[in-house]
């Protein structure tokens, strides 16, 4: 879970941005606090909240950009809107904003659940709330709220990584890199590094012992290959290099890659495709992390990379648009999703060959129908924050994954 501070403003644009999300049914107003008599009035407009925030802020004209706008994001669907709202309330108290007027809005239109918070940095007595070491204090406060410090979090993440079925040390290290750590091995030990400091160290024997129990999941591999063939015909597999956004609006190419196809598999099945390569050069291989069944595959075990990238979309865009509502996920419980396979009843025929079917799913013991709890990424994945490019910070070290 992370805290992301967004742009400051004198006009409280964050209120307008979030209310537009609500109007489009992409957001939900979860909490209004500290607005005094306004909260007893029905039918308030965004302008009413903005005027109140401006009035409070005007007591300290030295603060030119008083808007506090931030987002608190969780991994995938691991926290509901209600849970995130409670976390945001506690976080505001820790940071000195508990008595401030604020709005909490849940965003439900991205891969990662998150809430936006809009408030003012000036309190009702006209004093500016301290912003010293704000980013550092923000994460420290969040850790206190979550009742888990960095060491305990690292131990928990290690336990999760060791619960996966992997065949190489590189695959194990990739599992932890996907959770935001740098991993170093030396002198018979592994170190987990975050924010340039070692947060946990453990014996390498934990990893080698887990590798000894590795069994190749042949049935799962056949299922995944079938799904790859089906959806590579629906989603573009062309790789796009990730973009790292820099201060002042500049950007540079990152080490990771993504495609429409990889994004869909991650969101629909919990299958994370990590492509290996160096900045400015084509990817040379990829790894698949199956977060539902906790398996790690070399990409070529499921589909050769050249064959994957050579796939051409075989669906007419107009047909695809008519059935797009049947392709995404259907929520069956908080944090749980089932993949929906394509049906085109409106067009009268399937946009893919009618004799194609997922034979591997016929066996009830081989089904993918169990709920998928997606817990993959720490980024906020919000177009308003990152634009349409999805950022990943992963650097491949070897092609033995």
DSSP secondary structure, 19-56, as one string: HHHHHTTSEEEEEEES-GGGGG-SS--HHHHHHHHHHH
CATH number of the domain that residue 55 is part of:
3.30.930.30
Which pLDDT score, from 0 to 100, does residue 185 have? 95
Last residue of a domain, one of 108, 126, 145: 145
Co-location of 238 and 378 in the same domain: yes
Which pLDDT score, from 0 to 100, does residue 344 have? 35
Which pLDDT score, from 0 to 100, does residue 315 have? 57
Q: How many domains does the chain have?
A: 3
Which pLDDT score, from 0 to 100, does residue 202 have? 97
The answer to which of 92-96, 233-237, 248-252 has the lowest mean pLDDT is 248-252
Residue 27 has pLDDT above 60, yes or no: yes
Strands 240-245 and 102-107: unpaired
Model confidence at 281, pLDDT cuts 50, 70, 90, reads confident
Which pLDDT score, from 0 to 100, does residue 331 have? 27
Last residue of a domain, one of 212, 233, 262: 212
Q: Which helix (H) or strand (E) holds 254?
A: strand 251-258
Last residue of a domain, one of 87, 116, 145: 145
pTM of full prediction above 0.85: no
Mean pLDDT of 376-394: 42
Q: What own/partner pairs with CB < 8 Å and gap ≥ 24 does 135-140 have?
A: 135/3, 135/5, 137/95, 138/3, 138/5, 138/70, 138/91, 138/95, 139/2, 139/3
Co-location of 292 and 336 in the same domain: yes
292 lies in some domain: yes
Residue corresponding to tokens 């996966």: 164
Mean pLDDT over each residue of the chain, to the nearest integer: 79
Q: How confident is the model over 223-240, as pLDDT tens digits? A: 999 999 999 999 999 998
- In percent, the amount of the chain with pLDDT more than 90 equals 54
CA dist 290 and 292 (Å) reads 6
Co-location of 235 and 373 in the same domain: yes
Co-location of 244 and 376 in the same domain: yes
Question: Which domain range does residue 141 map to?
Answer: 2-145
């Amino acid at each position: 879970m992370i805290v992301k501070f967004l742009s400051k403003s004198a006009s409280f644009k964050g209120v307008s941005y979030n209310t537009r999300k609500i109007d489009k049914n992409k957001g939900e107003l979860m909490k209004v606090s500290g607005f005094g008599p306004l909260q007893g009035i029905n039918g308030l407009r965004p302008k009413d909240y903005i005027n109140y925030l401006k009035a409070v802020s005007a007591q300290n004209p030295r603060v030119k950009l008083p808007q506090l706008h931030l987002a608190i994001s969780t991994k995938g669907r691991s926290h509901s809107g209600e849970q995130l709202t409670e976390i945001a309330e506690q976080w505001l108290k820790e940071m000195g904003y508990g008595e401030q007027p604020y709005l909490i809005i849940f965003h439900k239109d991205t891969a990662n659940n998150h809430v936006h918070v809009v408030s003012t940095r000036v309190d009702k007595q006209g004093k500016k709330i301290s912003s010293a070491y704000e980013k550092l204090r923000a994460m420290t406060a969040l850790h206190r709220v979550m009742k888990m410090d960095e060491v305990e979090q690292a131990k928990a993440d290690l336990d999760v990584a060791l619960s996966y079925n992997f065949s190489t040390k590189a695959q194990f290290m990739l599992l932890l890199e996907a959770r935001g750590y740098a991993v170093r091995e030396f002198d018979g030990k592994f170190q987990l590094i975050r924010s340039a400091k070692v947060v946990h160290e453990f014996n390498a024997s934990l990893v080698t012992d887990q590798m000894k129990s590795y069994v190749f999941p042949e049935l799962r591999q056949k299922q995944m290959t079938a799904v790859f063939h089906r959806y590579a015909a629906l989603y573009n597999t062309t790789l796009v290099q990730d973009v790292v956004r820099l201060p002042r609006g500049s950007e540079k190419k990152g080490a990771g890659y993504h495609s429409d196809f990889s994004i869909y598999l991650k969101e629909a099945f919990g299958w994370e495709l990590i492509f290996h390569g160096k900045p400015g050069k084509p990817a040379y291989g990829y790894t698949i992390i199956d977060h539902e069944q906790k398996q790690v595959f070399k990409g070529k075990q499921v589909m050769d990379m050249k064959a994957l990238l050579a796939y051409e979309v075989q669906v007419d865009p107009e047909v695809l648009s008519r059935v797009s509502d049947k392709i995404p996920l259907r929520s069956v419980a908080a944090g749980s999703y089932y993949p929906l396979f394509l049906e085109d009843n409106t067009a009268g025929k399937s946009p893919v060959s009618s004799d194609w079917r997922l034979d591997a799913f016929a066996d009830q013991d081989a089904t993918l129908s169990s709920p998928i709890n997606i817990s993959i990424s720490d980024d906020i994945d919000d177009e308003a924050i990152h634009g349409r490019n999805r950022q990943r910070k992963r650097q491949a070290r070897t092609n033995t994954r």
